[in-house]
Structure formats: structure tokens, C-alpha cells
């Protein structure tokens, strides 16, 4: 919007896998899908839209030995009526127990034949049927097994017993903030009850139902997990299965031990899939008959491609199969299927399915899913801390280990699939939580409300917000020491999320905010902050627990824990127009600055964190909301970078900032307020988001470095951008603020500016000189 800036260019490629210096000025880690979850309705949910963000979530996976994962899965199937078993003994006993199923009888030969058929396939789709036949035949035999130390098979519990079921070529749909996704997992794992519903199969032939065409589409709430397939041309022909299987030490070559994944950079529908990176270095040794834990995660992206040779999936085969693989991508009504790449990398595709499974349950802890590549099956574990890939099992050469994996899946209680973080969850959304101070707290979530805020993604806080009813908490509201009598609402909302344990908790920060508000005689803070009614930390949900159990190094950094926080209800500032919006925005600017001066640094200014309520006399009051990324110390703790990318200051969207080398200053939050003001003026009309077709919408679709480039371009060449009619009257104010930002970044070396100077020159002076608001609307006191 001004002339050519000096030094205003940005790096073209995002950093990856940078080893931060010991002392950081800001938190460096950018999480992938968390950056766009709250804007998913604007970003879109088809694969092309969300693939880069899911790729970011999975590319930094940690690694663990599959034997350690098998030990954990089996341990969660233990029979509590018997003495507590040793985990390693439990695995050894299970390996021995399944040997007869692998070696004896007609079924053993049938299973072996199906697996040999699978590995001899030359393209992917024909792999599905033999895998399903082998796995379901094995489940049938395992149902008769009395495994030492494990719970018995629950013959009469169709809701818990599982089977593998063909899904491709059917889509599974789900709605995210008004946008419908459609995904096509190759194979799904569902309960017997679900299989009977969709296939009308008879109980005696239940394991044969897996290949029957469903009479209706599956729903994500019915899917326990998914199996994604990938066929690659083997370097050498697969060897025949052993004549007799025995319990043996885990033995897989380094080249096949883990799936290799490099984030895709070529989105062309005609272009090749990404090149295969060099094999990862060895990271662990095998001992006894079990594999020990490998080193924690490393990214493959720092390694250059060694070979351009991974071929695209074969386009031979029946036309309906080819079209089904292509149409596996995309959101309904968004793009023509032919505009999409042939198929995302299986690791990313697997991550997309995990994100759908997370979204299907509002409090899900984790997801376990599987990828089959030729004769290998890889187990993936996802939670809000990140992804874990287990070393693969060669199900032809090491059938007993594969059989033990199936045994664990069969005997695992429903909750151990990652469901039900909350106690006593029922379909109506009602739960009761025991609180040490006030006793039982009743909560009834409105899971279908149009006002709910849901999450799509894998890693991060995964915040969901629901209207909630509670007799116990409603009675507490008038007794709150920070009760705001000017907000007439009697409604409550519940925030469910996974903050980092290392970071100071939001309830603790809010208590400091309330102490500041008590001393506030000018009304800058008082009545402009959210009213916390109740909070509860579910301490046993720490994501570090599974990593410690798996022997993963660095289990503690970035660990997350589940919280429920209940507030009095507020409304989004984006519903306001013109003077009402600007007045509420200004009140929040003043509140934010007062808190910053008193040592509470918000650090995450975005439209979703600016809220309002309407007083009984009709005035809209602004509220600075969401303190879960705030800090009351000089350096924010935790690993999660603070800020919402589209609204972050340009200085924080740089390589140095990604490495944690840029100190988060007041001027960065002040700049965020200006970006929010600009965003709302351009993207909202009468409280409705219309920004999807605007230039600003691109800010949502790129990473931090890309957003720096987009916003810099807008800042210096955005004269053609116009506000909506709802905000024409305040656009001059926004332009004046943007000019301050542009002038600030013109010099090659930007000097540090004191907080009070930024507040006065960037914000207060522009507000007063604009002469848009009356003195009454400029008054921040309630």
C-alpha cells in the first residue's frame, strides 16, 4: 500500500527440523493442522486444501519398536482377575500361544496362502481382498484362543468384537464447520454390530462379511481404525513363507524397518509422487525375542532426495478401480475430482483418516491406524502431542507377530482404542466429573448446537467449544469473586482442549488477570475479560505416559494433558458491524495493553479470541478471550509457538522466529490487532464470513513463511482491496494503522520501539484522529 519496501522480501521455503539454540526468545514449534483448524470452513476440507497441514503433523513422527507397542497393547488387554503380568512376559507368552494358529490345521494354510497372494499382487487394489480374508480368518481362530494373562474373547459382545471390512470404493462423509469432507479409506476395522448393520450378514458368517458390499456408507463414528495400502515394485521377489513358524527375534532390514516419508512439494495431478529419501540411520538394536525402542522422532525432510524413482501407482486395471482411487480425494462440491493429484502419500492419507476419527468424537485421546506396504504392516499412533510410527512387521515371514497384533486388537477394550477421555460419557453428551472442592459436577454438552466450535487436525490443543448446561455450576456463577453483573447471560460454554503441561495453565493465568482487574480503577481490564466458572485437569491423560512406556527419548517436551474449562457465554466480535465493532475492538486493545503493562502477555490476538457481550442497556462490550497461550514470565514455556499464523506480526513469520530467535514484543500483538481489524473489514459482511474469494483468504492456506510473503505483498500492493459495506465507515482507520506497519518495516534495520510508543502511535492516535467513534463509544469503562 506504499512504495517498494527495502528489505521486505521473505525466504521462499519454510525451515524444517531446525535444532533450536538452548536459550530461546520465543517458542519455535509450528504445529500443522492446528494452524488452520479454526478456519477450516474458509480453508476447505478436500485433500489439496488440508494435505500440507496434515503432512506437517506427521512428518516429525517419533519412532518406536513395534515390540514395545505390542507390549503396551497387550497390557491394556490384561485380565485384572489374575496376577499383574510382566509386559515382556506377556508378549513372549502371546507369541508362543499363537504358534498353533500359524502352523496347524487348514486355517493356517489358508491364512498363509492369502498373504502370499497379497504380496504377489502387481498393483494396489487387488491387495485388499486377500488381506481381509487372511486377517478375518485369523480373528476367527484367535476368538477360540485362551491367551495367558489376557481377557477372554467376548463372544456375545457384537459392539466390541471387530473385523476388517472393505470400504473402497465407498466414501465416508463428515461435516466440519459446515464443510463436508469425503474420504475413501481402503479397508476399515469395525465392530460386528456395525458389519451386521451395513451388510445384513448372519452371525455365523460374520468374518466373511468383510468383503460384502455395504448396503449403506460407513460413518466415521463407526470406524475403529483404517488400513491404508501402498504397492511398490520390490527390489527382489518376496521370499516364500517358512514351512514352520517359530518365535524369533525381531529381524527387519533397516531399509524396511520404517516407512519413509518426505512432505510432497509437487501437487500436479500428472506429476510423480515424491522421491524416496535415503533410509534412516539405525536407531536401536534387537535383544531377546523382542525389539527394543528406537530413538525418538526425526524428520526426513532435511535429507535431499536420492532417487526420483518411486513410480506412480499403476493406472492399469479396471476403469472403476482407477476412478475410485482418483476420486478418493476432495470435499463434496468443492473441486472436480480430476483436478486433484492421483493420491496423496499413504502416510499423509493415513493422517487424514486419523484426523477424521479424532473429529468424530469430541474428547478422543488417541488413534491407532495402519499402513500396509507390500509384505509389511506399519502401526501408527496419533495423539495431540504428535505421531509415533512403529517399526513394521513382515506378516509373511513373521506371521506370529502379526497374529499377536490382531490378538491385541481383538481383545482391546473399547476405551483403549482411544475413546472416552471423559468418565461416564453417554450418547446425550451428559457426564459427571468429581471435583475435590465442590463434589460432583454435572455437565450436559449440546453436541449438535450451531454455536459449537469443532476441531479438525492431529497435533495441538484441539480446542472444541460446546454450549453446556450444569445445575451445579450455574449455582456457582453469582458467587464468583470476578462475577460480572453487566453480562446478563445465564448461558455457559465448555472449552475442551489439550494444552501443553509445561505451559502455565489458563486458569492460573486468569487468576492473575482477576487480581489486576481488582485494582483497575479506570475500567480498562475489569469486565473486559472472560469469567471462568470452573476448570478441571484430567491428570491421567498426559501424552507423555505412552511415550515413557514405549521408551521414546524426549517424552516430556511438548507433552499435553486434557482440560475442561467452563465460562459464561460470550459472542464473537465478528458479528458486529461498523461503530459497534470498532468500539468493542478498541476496548479490547486497551484491555490488552493494560494487562501487558502488568505482566500478562496474551500473545495470540486473532478474531476468534476477541469476544463481546451486550449489556442490559444495549451497549456492546469487548472481551479479550483465550489466555491458554499467554505468559506471565519473560519467556513462554512449552514447545508451541504462540500466535495464529494469519494474524501474526511479520517479524514472527520469519526463519529466525521459527527457530525461536525473535523475542515476542508488545508491538507484535499490536500489529496483530491491526491485521485482525483489516481482516474483519474485508472478510465479514453483516456478521457472515465472505472472505473465501478474497485475496486475504490465501493467508489461511500457507505456512508461516508463505504468510509473510502474502501479507508483505498485501501491505505494499493491496490498493485494490476494498472493505465490505458493513465496515466501509471504519476502513480509513484500518488503512492508517496499516500505513504505520508499512513504514515500520521499510528500514533495513528495524529499531526496537518502546511499548507505550507503539500503543500511542499505531493505535491510540489513529483511533482519535479517525473521529469515527463518539466519546461514549471511546470510553472503555462499563
Boundary residue ending a domain (397, 417, 437): 417
CB 708 within 8 A of CB 651: no
Count Cβ atoms below 10 Å from residue 707 Cβ, excluding itself: 23
Mean pLDDT computed over 471-486: 96
Pairing of strands 367-373, 223-230: parallel
The answer to whether position 466 is within a domain reads no
Residue 662 pLDDT grade (very low, low, confident, very high; cuts 50, 70, 90): confident
- Say yes or no to pLDDT of 71 above 70: yes
Cα–Cα distance for residue pair 329/182, rounded to 1 Å: 7
Mean pLDDT computed over 505-524: 95
The answer to whether position 312 is within a domain reads yes
Cα–Cα distance for residue pair 198/190, rounded to 1 Å: 11
- Name which of 223-232, 306-315, 521-530 the model is least confident about: 306-315
CB 727 within 8 A of CB 581: yes
Q: Are residues 17 and 78 in the same domain?
A: no
Q: Which residue has the higher pLDDT, 184 or 778?
A: 184
Q: Are residues 10 and 62 in the same domain?
A: no
The answer to whether position 394 is within a domain reads yes
Q: Are residues 144 and 267 in the same domain?
A: yes
Mean pLDDT for all residues in the chain: 82
Boundary residue ending a domain (417, 438, 472): 417
> Quick one: pLDDT at residue 179?
81
What pLDDT, in 10s, does the model give residues 345-372? 899 999 999 999 999 988 889 999 999 9
> Quick one: pLDDT at residue 199?
79
CB 435 within 8 A of CB 441: yes
The answer to whether position 510 is within a domain reads no
490 burial level (CB within 10 Å; 0-12, 13-18, 19+): exposed
The answer to whether position 579 is within a domain reads no
Q: Are residues 99 and 199 in the same domain?
A: yes
- Say yes or no to pLDDT of 328 above 70: no
SS3 185: coil
Q: Are residues 131 and 19 in the same domain?
A: no
Cα–Cα distance for residue pair 512/517, rounded to 1 Å: 9
What the block records as the C-alpha cell of 26 is: 520465543
Residue 779's domain comprises: 1-29+641-782
**Beta strands of 374-508 (E only): which ranges?**
376-383, 386-390, 393-394, 430-435, 439-445, 464-469, 492-497
Q: Are residues 94 and 164 in the same domain?
A: yes
The H helix count followed by the E strand count for the chain is 23, 23
The answer to whether position 162 is within a domain reads yes
- Say yes or no to pLDDT of 339 above 60: no
The angle at the Cα of 515, spanning 513 to 518, to the nearest 5 degrees, equals: 110
> Quick one: pLDDT at residue 330?
38
Cα–Cα distance for residue pair 449/402, rounded to 1 Å: 43
Q: Are residues 13 and 149 in the same domain?
A: no
Name 778's Cβ contacts closer than 8 Å, sequence gap at least 6.
Answer: 583, 586, 767, 768
> Quick one: pLDDT at residue 57?
87
Q: Are residues 20 and 98 in the same domain?
A: no
Q: Are residues 141 and 235 in the same domain?
A: yes
Cα–Cα distance for residue pair 651/10, rounded to 1 Å: 10
Q: Are residues 160 and 201 in the same domain?
A: yes
Q: Which residue has the higher pLDDT, 202 or 510?
A: 510
The answer to whether position 482 is within a domain reads no
Q: Are residues 777 and 716 in the same domain?
A: yes
The answer to whether position 115 is within a domain reads yes
> Quick one: pLDDT at residue 747?
63
- Say yes or no to pLDDT of 324 above 70: no
Counted domains in the chain:
2
- Say yes or no to pLDDT of 34 above 90: no
What pLDDT, in 10s, does the model give residues 627-637? 998 988 654 55
> Quick one: pLDDT at residue 313?
36
**Cis omega (within 30 of 0) for bond into 169:** yes
- Name which of 303-312, 462-471, 689-698, 772-781 the model is least confident about: 303-312
Cα–Cα distance for residue pair 108/141, rounded to 1 Å: 9
Q: Are residues 235 and 372 in the same domain?
A: yes
Boundary residue ending a domain (369, 402, 417): 417
Mean pLDDT computed over 404-427: 82
Mean pLDDT computed over 508-512: 96
Q: Which of 218, 458, 268, 270 is nearest to 350 (CA)?
A: 458
Amino acid at each position: 500500500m506504499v512504495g517498494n519496501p527495502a528489505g521486505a522480501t521473505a525466504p521462499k521455503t519454510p525451515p524444517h527440523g531446525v535444532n533450536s539454540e538452548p536459550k530461546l526468545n520465543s517458542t519455535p514449534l509450528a504445529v500443522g493442522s492446528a494452524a488452520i483448524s479454526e478456519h477450516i470452513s474458509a480453508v476447505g476440507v478436500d485433500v489439496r486444501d488440508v494435505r500440507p497441514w496434515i503432512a506437517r503433523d506427521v512428518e516429525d513422527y517419533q519412532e518406536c519398536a513395534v515390540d514395545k507397542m505390542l507390549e503396551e497393547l497387550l497390557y491394556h488387554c490384561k485380565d485384572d482377575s489374575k496376577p499383574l503380568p510382566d509386559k515382556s512376559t506377556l508378549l513372549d507368552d502371546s507369541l508362543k500361544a499363537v504358534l498353533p494358529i500359524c502352523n496347524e490345521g487348514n486355517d493356517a494354510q489358508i491364512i498363509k496362502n492369502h498373504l502370499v497372494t497379497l504380496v504377489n499382487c502387481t498393483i494396489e487394489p487387488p491387495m485388499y481382498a486377500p488381506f481381509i480374508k487372511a486377517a478375518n480368518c485369523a480373528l476367527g481362530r484367535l476368538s477360540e484362543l485362551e491367551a495367558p494373562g489376557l481377557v477372554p474373547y467376548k463372544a456375545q459382545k457384537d459392539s466390541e468384537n471387530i473385523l476388517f471390512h472393505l470400504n473402497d470404493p465407498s466414501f465416508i462423509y463428515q461435516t466440519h464447520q459446515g464443510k463436508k469432507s469425503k474420504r475413501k479409506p481402503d479397508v476399515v476395522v469395525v465392530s460386528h454390530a456395525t458389519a451386521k448393520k451395513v451388510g445384513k450378514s448372519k452371525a455365523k458368517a460374520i468374518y466373511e462379511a468383510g468383503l460384502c458390499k455395504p448396503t449403506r456408507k460407513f460413518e466415521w463414528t463407526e470406524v475403529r481404525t483404517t488400513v491404508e495400502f501402498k504397492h511398490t515394485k520390490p527390489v527382489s521377489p518376496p521370499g516364500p513363507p517358512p514351512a514352520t513358524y517359530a518365535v524369533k527375534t525381531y529381524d527387519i532390514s533397516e531399509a524396511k524397518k520404517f516407512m519413509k516419508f518426505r512432505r510432497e512439494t509437487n501437487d500436479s495431478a500428472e506429476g510423480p509422487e515424491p522421491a524416496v529419501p535415503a533410509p534412516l540411520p539405525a536407531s536401536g538394536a534387537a535383544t531377546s525375542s523382542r525389539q527394543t525402542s528406537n530413538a525418538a522422532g526425526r524428520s526426513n525432510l532435511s535429507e535431499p532426495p536420492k532417487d526420483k524413482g518411486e513410480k506412480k501407482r499403476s493406472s492399469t486395471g479396471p476403469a472403476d478401480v482407477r476412478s475410485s482411487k482418483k476420486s478418493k480425494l476432495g470435499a463434496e462440491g468443492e473441486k472436480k475430482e480430476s483436478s486433484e493429484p492421483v493420491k496423496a502419500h499413504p502416510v499423509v492419507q493415513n493422517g487424514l483418516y486419523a484426523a477424521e476419527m479424532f473429529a468424530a468424537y469430541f474428547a478422543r485421546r488417541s488413534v491407532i491406524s495402519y499402513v500396509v506396504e507390500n509384505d509389511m504392516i506399519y502401526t501408527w499412533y496419533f495423539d495431540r502431542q504428535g505421531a509415533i510410527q512403529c517399526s513394521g512387521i513382515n506378516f509373511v515371514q513373521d506371521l506370529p507377530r502379526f497374529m499377536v497384533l490382531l490378538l491385541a486388537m481383538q481383545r482391546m477394550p473399547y476405551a483403549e482404542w482411544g475413546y472416552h477421555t471423559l468418565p461416564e460419557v453417554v450418547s446425550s453428551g451428559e457426564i459427571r466429573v468429581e471435583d475435590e472442592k465442590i463434589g460432583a459436577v454435572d455437565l450436559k454438552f449440546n453436541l449438535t448446537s450451531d454455536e459449537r466450535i469443532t476441531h479438525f487436525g492431529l497435533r495441538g490443543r484441539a480446542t472444541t467449544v460446546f454450549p453446556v448446561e450444569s445445575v451445579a455450576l450455574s449455582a456457582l456463577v453469582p458467587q464468583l469473586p470476578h462475577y460480572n453483573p453487566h453480562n446478563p447471560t445465564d448461558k455457559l460454554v465448555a472449552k475442551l482442549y489439550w494444552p501443553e503441561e509445561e505451559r502455565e495453565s489458563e486458569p492460573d493465568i486468569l487468576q492473575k488477570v482477576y487480581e489486576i482487574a481488582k485494582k483497575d480503577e479506570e475500567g480498562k481490564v475489569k469486565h473486559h475479560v472472560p469469567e471462568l466458572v470452573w476448570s478441571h485437569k484430567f491428570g491421567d491423560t498426559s501424552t507423555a505416559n505412552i511415550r515413557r512406556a514405549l521408551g521414546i527419548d524426549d517424552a516430556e517436551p511438548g507433552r499435553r494433558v486434557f482440560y475442561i474449562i467452563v465460562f459464561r457465554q460470550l459472542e464473537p466480535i465478528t458479528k458486529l458491524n461498523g461503530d459497534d465493532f470498532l468500539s468493542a475492538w478498541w476496548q479490547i486493545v486497551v484491555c490488552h495493553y493494560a494487562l501487558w503493562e502488568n505482566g500478562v502477555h496474551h500473545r495470540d490476538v486473532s478474531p476468534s479470541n476477541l469476544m463481546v457481550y451486550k449489556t442490559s442497556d444495549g451497549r456492546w462490550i469487548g472481551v479479550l478471550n483465550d489466555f491458554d497461550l499467554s505468559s506471565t514470565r519473560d519467556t513462554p514455556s512449552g514447545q508451541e509457538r504462540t500466535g495464529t499464523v494469519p494474524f501474526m506480526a511479520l517479524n514472527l513469520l520469519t526463519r529466525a522466529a521459527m527457530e525461536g530467535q525473535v523475542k515476542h514484543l508488545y508491538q507484535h500483538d499490536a500489529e496483530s490487532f491491526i491485521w485482525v481489524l483489516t481482516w474483519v473489514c474485508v472478510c465479514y459482511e453483516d456478521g457472515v464470513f465472505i472472505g473465501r474469494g478474497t485475496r486475504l483468504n490465501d493467508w489461511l492456506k500457507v505456512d508461516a513463511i508463505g504468510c509473510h510473503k502474502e501479507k508483505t505483498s498485501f501491505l505494499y500492493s493491496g490498493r485494490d482491496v476494498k472493505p465490505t459495506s458493513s465496515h466501509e465507515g471504519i476502513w480509513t482507520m484500518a488503512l492508517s494503522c496499516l500505513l504505520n506497519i508499512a513504514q515500520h518495516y521499510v528500514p533495513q534495520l528495524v529499531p526496537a520501539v518502546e511499548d507505550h510508543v507503539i500503543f500511542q502511535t499505531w493505535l491510540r492516535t489513529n483511533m482519535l484522529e479517525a473521529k469515527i467513534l463518539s466519546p461514549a463509544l471511546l470510553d472503555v469503562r462499563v
